Chain A
Amino acid sequence: MLAYLIRRLFNAVLTLLVVTAVTFGIFFLVPKATGTDPALLYIGKTSDAASVEGIRVKMGLNDPIVVQYGKFLKGLVAGRDYANGPDVQHCPAPCLGYSFKTDQEVTPLLLGDLPVTLSLALGAAVLWLIMGISTGVISALRRGTVLDRVVMGGALAGVSLPIYFTGLLASAIFVYWLGWLPQGEYVPFTESPGDWFVQLILPWITLAFLFAATYARLTRANMLEILGEDYVRTARAKGLRERAVIGKHALRSSLTPIVTVFGLDLGALLGGAILTEKVFNLRGLGYQALTAIQGNDLPIILGVTLIAASFIVIANLIVDLVYGLIDPRVRLA
């Protein structure tokens, strides 16, 4: 198990390194390809040649790409100083540079967005796990019945309807038509847990609906497969109650593959749920990324990409570890 753990950790770090290299490469190449000078993006097209050159020196834009990448890595790990003669600007670790548009440091900017995305993703995840797994199990046990068809029809709708449709529809119904939920903005949990909760209900449900649909289908398919396994028959042959056969023996195995999917989905969502954040006006990482893409603000795009990638890599790592815990065949291999 320890060797397995170390191997996984090593892989994760390696993957992250590759991710930084690739994103940095793109970051370096995009301005080249579009013929724009990053220095100009920092200070605007009207600036004179001298101050543009000053920015180049300060940001290290004249260095070869490998040197720039090295400095970038150092900034991530230890922070870095941007200097042009006496003009020194310190960027603490993990340094992601400065926004082209506002000159703000990227790291604190994104950290400020993180709680919104975390709240959205984690809340929705709890909801979709409960909804998806329970409907999937029920559907599997009632296979072929009207209930099964209705649930799976709903799941199909859930998978195929886009967020901006379900999200707007949900808002229209619950906020404007029924008036059950207030119209408003995200409220930080630390400010008012109650308002935080109320404001997130709709985004949670909308996002969870999309994922629950996938999970319901997945759970149902797994469950049906597992119910045909010999060891489920053995469980019945021992005289176990059907409740134990399903709830213990069959569910245990049905959920194992879901752990993988769940980890990856959650990891991906933590990098920002662009559509949901946009539809519900939640200023999270996804929203930030969208704005940055529209404004060609490369440092922010790079920052969000790195954070998103890190979440996915970390999620992968956790999935591998959890998998080792729940499947003795992996753990003891």
Chain B
Amino acid sequence: MSIGATNARPYLEVKDLNVRFETDDGIVQAVTDSTFSVEAGQTLGIVGESGSGKSVTSLAVLGLHRTRSNAKVSGEIWLDDQELVTATDEQVRLLRGGKMAMIFQDPLSAMHPYFTVGSQIVEAYRVHHPGVNKKVARERAIDMLARVGIPQPERRFNDYAHQFSGGMRQRAMIAMALVNDPKLLIADEPTTALDVTVQAQILDLIRDLQDEFGSAVIMITHDLGVVAELADDVLVMYGGKVIEKGPALEVFQNPQHPYTWGLLGSMPRLDREVRDRLNPVKGSPPSLINLPSGCAFHPRCPYAGRNGNRSFNEVPLLHGDVHKVACHLPPEARTEIFQQEVLPNL
């Protein structure tokens, strides 16, 4: 191992990220003390139910909360050895769409309805290549459309987003995100709006492009199957907090947090009767304005009383070296519960 390698930071390193929004109803604590990192060439999966802060986290990395006057972001975000929370708006703007890019959930609403898909890709390319003339940029855009598997790219270049099918639209969105060879790609539920076969194609495409460019990828999803398939590491979020993280294989084979167990239980499985397939975690997501004290999951956790009510105390991300979990249950107790009560029902 070279000295450079040991000293180098991961390509993206986020430390103690906090994002809160001031609203009329009170302060929304959307992300609390989130710490994670992604190496170049690696994929981090972020999972968690709706409202757990996945999108807010990724928008924070891109500095997209800066234009919201009610948003407050603190902590550290290091991208390729540059700190972004304290950087100027202009510094972050130059990185956006350049070194770091994002693919959004719904490509129809994420593309401008009045500009052709091609012109939007050209625009993305030219912001970061100001010297390049229109013709070259156009060729680059067409080349990208071809790369992501869009047939007849010269012709599709002049089409509008609404003329594309859902899968083609998401491909075009990916072409736009990748046009400047970003070293960090954040995909925020890139396949939710698509049907299953198209989903698989899009995920394959992202994986192939990642192999080709060696980018770091953050894959945000509700679908644990996607994470299991694509991610090297996984981050489980609940109520804006990271409650479990570690190597994906580890987390799937030996999940530690009761909420993660719940998520695994809600996974659709082929060997299960259709009516039994979905089995979501009981109860509703926590209010981010009044987060439950201590372990935020305790109102919904079936094991909350098992450790002398310590669940109401603050719980840091504690146990484990690479596989970390925020739960007061001692590791032995957790293993026992998982083996005897959870696994048989999965």
Contacts and interface: CB of A to CB of B under 8 A. Distances in A.
B148 interface: no
A238 B127 contact: yes
Contacts of A233: 59, 64, 104, 110
Interface residues of B, number: 30
Nearest to A253: B114
A231 B111 CA distance: 5
B64 A332 contact: no
Given A230-B104, A234-B104, A329-B162, A240 B111 contact: no
A56 interface: no
Nearest to B105: A230
A242 B106 CA distance: 23
Interface string A220-235: 0000000001110111
Interface in B83-123: 93-98, 101-102, 104, 106, 109-115, 123
Which of under 10, 10 to 19, 20 to 34, or 35 or more describes the interface residues of A?
20 to 34
Nearest to A242: B67
Interface of B is mostly: mixed
A242 B64 CA distance: 12
A330 to B, nearest CB: 10
Interface of A is mostly: helix
Interface string B55-67: 0000100101001
Given A230-B104, A230-B106, A230-B109, A237 B96 contact: yes
Nearest to B113: A329
Interface string B288-304: 00000000000000000
A238 B110 contact: no
A327 B163 contact: no
A146 to B, nearest CB: 14
A332 B64 CA distance: 33
A238 to B, nearest CB: 4
B319 interface: no
B101 A237 contact: yes
Nearest to A328: B160
Contact of B127 (A229, A240, A256): A240
A240 B265 CA distance: 43
B64 A239 contact: no
B180 to A, nearest CB: 8
A327 B69 CA distance: 31
A237 B59 CA distance: 9
A101 interface: no
B65 to A, nearest CB: 11
A217 interface: no
Contacts of A329: 113, 160, 162
A242 B97 CA distance: 14
A7 interface: no
Given A233-B104, A239-B95, 7 more contacts: A230-B109, A231-B110, A239-B124, A240-B97, A241-B93, A241-B127, A328-B160
7 closest pairs, A vs B, by CB? A239-B97, A238-B97, A239-B96, A230-B109, A238-B124, A231-B112, A230-B110
Interface of A: 144, 229-231, 233-242, 249, 252-253, 256, 326-329, 332
13 contacts: A231-B111, A233-B59, A233-B64, A234-B104, A236-B64, A237-B102, A238-B96, A238-B123, A239-B94, A239-B96, A240-B123, A252-B115, A327-B114
